[in-house]
Amino acid sequence: MPSQGVKLYVQDKHVVLDNGILQVTISNPDGILTAIQYNGIDNLLAVENQEADRGYWDLVWNLAGSKGTKGKFDRIEATSFEVIVENEDQVELSFTRTWNPSLEGKVVPLNIEKRFIMLRNSSGFYTYAIYEHLKEWPAFNLDRFRIAFKLRKDKFHYMAMADNRQRYMPLPDDRLPYRSQTLAYPEAVLLVDPMETEFRGEVDDKYQYSCENKDNRVHGWICNDPPVGFWQITPSDEFRSAGPHKQNLTSHVGPTTLAVMHSVHYSGEDLILKFGSNEAWKKVFGPIFIYLNSLSDAGGNPLSLWEDAKQQMRIEVQDWPYTFPASQDFPQSHQRGNVSGRLLVKDRYVCKDYIPANGAYVGLAPPGDVGSWQSEVKGYQFWTRADEDGYFCINNIWTGDYNLYAWVPGFIGDYKYDVIITPSAGYDIFMGDLVYEPPRDGPTLWEIGVPDRTAAEFYVPDPSPMFVNRLYVNHPDRFRQYGLWERYADLYPDRDLVYTVGVSDYTKDWFFAQVTRKNDDNTYQGTTWQIKFKLDCAANETETYKLRLALATAHAAELQVRVNDDGKSPLFSSGQIGKDNTIARHGIHGLYRLYHVGIPGNLLLEGDNTIFLTQPKSTSPFQGIMYDYIRLEGPASSNGNKKP
């Protein structure tokens, strides 16, 4: 029996897409999803909400020169509707809001086009958007934009985003003031009298379910009766800001599912899109796929819908870039280029030969400085991982100008290929062998941690028994528990951390974040950590030793370094750095920073030495630093001292 083709019904205030599997109702001309009908459920979206608060694109913006990361919320309501494609195999709709000078100061100065696509035999629909700023339009800041879906709270109770990150979730009503206690910030609450008693005493916080872009492929919710899955699938990161390691929100209590295209979370003001008054810009975000599934076997396990969603995600990734979007602004595969090559590492203190960059992250991003990709927010980025021999292939790249960037697990710093690369449609560029020389002056005297841009290898404590999310008990991501910053003062009540090279174990003795100390009067004070080590022969007083400090994140912190006398003026100060807010938001990294501190040999002693790492000021419990890796190198002109 032939399948039903896609049908479009245009009504006065709504349009309806129907392919016989599902129906999608969109407000006309606003372009906001008001209903999704599937598998006998008349509407999967939150029927108790107003129509404009169910499924929508939104953004937060502000006037040029504004400070901070707060702004004006805009649930992008379009003003015109157009049918782009209409046949039995595909319907594509466009909802557009066009900016004009009469809207200055009231509406973000962008032309915004939202598109929705339904295909024959597809158990879902696609959506993407095109943002455009003309050169003559006003300057402004753009803080975040995303797609939000709010589902029925009486239906969707089980959330899944990874094999080991899924669970039954509290109800949104459990977060009401008389059922919960707000903790250090509004997003985090302690459930004191939830409707579902099994959640009593747990912490709920949407940031506990954040995810790196590279892993943020599929997440969503499961309804048990009838068994239905609602999944957001993002097959590519090319349109997302700040590279593969940027963390974004996913799904959380609501039940809510987000597809975040850009945000300042885990990075702060460094990632605000700031547009000048003479700056033209245009970018396509998406498409993403909203996938719906159900059980064919009446007696099947609803949780198996997650496995099916993962399989569908793999299909969508394989099909990228899609061939069906009708916008000329979205290039198809034959309109894109490919870049390949091999990355090697040269570090004579590790190996005399070149080292294959096994597992290196290699990507193309708009031209910039070394490492600029992690704060690049306006262009497209294309990333891959090198194989064990260092070979890489980056496919389906938009035409344009790029630098090639990379970082290699196990080595500090960032690689950049200085020559501009311009992929052409349908052509392959082979780069040959590229060589990364990580920062290095002399031999390693000692090291703490692993150069992986995170603090995950350090000691992450158990949470206070009062602040537990049971999902993360005995979990690899135990750092996602709430309130771990307060555990530092519990574990070090009388003095700060002291780490002895050759004796201490960084997995047990190096706290994952150098945070402030909470005093009995609820004020906070800075902390000083000590690294103690021995030199088994006299230091060369005329030479310089090098301390490498790789930071996984920083928030409103200043890092000072002193050697062998904590009372002296600091040998190094970072100044205030970071607005990542990673510590409060249960991350294990934010923006990567690398500092190189020269230590004159005459400051070092034969025998016992101490390096002091100080945060001198304190204003909040979230102020602090996460270290990625610390290394002390001997002078370049000699073999240095023996490694302890």
Cα atoms found within 13 Å of the Cα of residue 72, Cβ hemisphere only:
14
Contacting residues for 158 by C-beta, under 8 A, at least 6 apart: 166, 167, 168, 169, 221, 222, 223, 224, 302, 303
124-144 core/surface letters (b: 16 or more CB in 10 A; e: else): bbbbbbbbbbeeebbebbbbb
DSSP string of 99-145? --GGGTTTS-S-EEEEEEEEETT-SEEEEEEEEEE-TTSPPEEEEEE
What gap in Å lies between CA 141 and CA 139, rounded to an integer? 7
What gap in Å lies between CA 484 and CA 311, rounded to an integer? 36
- Looking at the DSSP assignment, which residues form a beta bridge with residue 181? 190
pLDDT tens string 227-237? 999 999 999 99
Domain ranges of the chain: 7-152+224-319, 333-436, 444-633
Q: Under CATH, to which class is 333-436 assigned?
A: mainly beta
Q: What integer pLDDT is reported at residue 641 of this predicted model?
A: 43
Cis, peptide link before residue 302, omega less than 30° from 0? no
Q: What integer pLDDT is reported at residue 518 of this predicted model?
A: 81
290-312 core/surface letters (b: 16 or more CB in 10 A; e: else): bbbbbbeeeeeebeebbebbbeb
Q: What integer pLDDT is reported at residue 113 of this predicted model?
A: 98
Check: CB of residue 83 under 8 Å from CB of residue 31: no
Q: What integer pLDDT is reported at residue 640 of this predicted model?
A: 43
- Cα–Cα distances (Å) from 451 to 71, 447, 594, 634, in that order, read 36, 10, 11, 19
pLDDT along the chain (644 residues), means of 10: 84 97 98 97 97 97 83 95 98 97 93 98 98 96 96 98 97 96 96 94 97 97 96 97 96 97 93 92 98 88 96 98 98 96 96 97 98 96 98 97 98 97 94 97 97 98 95 96 94 94 98 90 90 92 95 96 88 94 95 97 95 89 94 79 40
Check: CB of residue 23 under 8 Å from CB of residue 9: no
Q: What integer pLDDT is reported at residue 300 of this predicted model?
A: 85
Check: CB of residue 428 under 8 Å from CB of residue 337: yes
Report the DSSP pairing between strands 227-233 and 281-294.
Answer: antiparallel
Q: What integer pLDDT is reported at residue 297 of this predicted model?
A: 80
For 183, the token pair is 């903790």
Q: What integer pLDDT is reported at residue 638 of this predicted model?
A: 60
What dotted CATH number matches 7-152+224-319? Answer: 2.70.98
Same CATH fold, 444-633 and 7-152+224-319? no
What dotted CATH number matches 444-633? Answer: 2.60.120.260
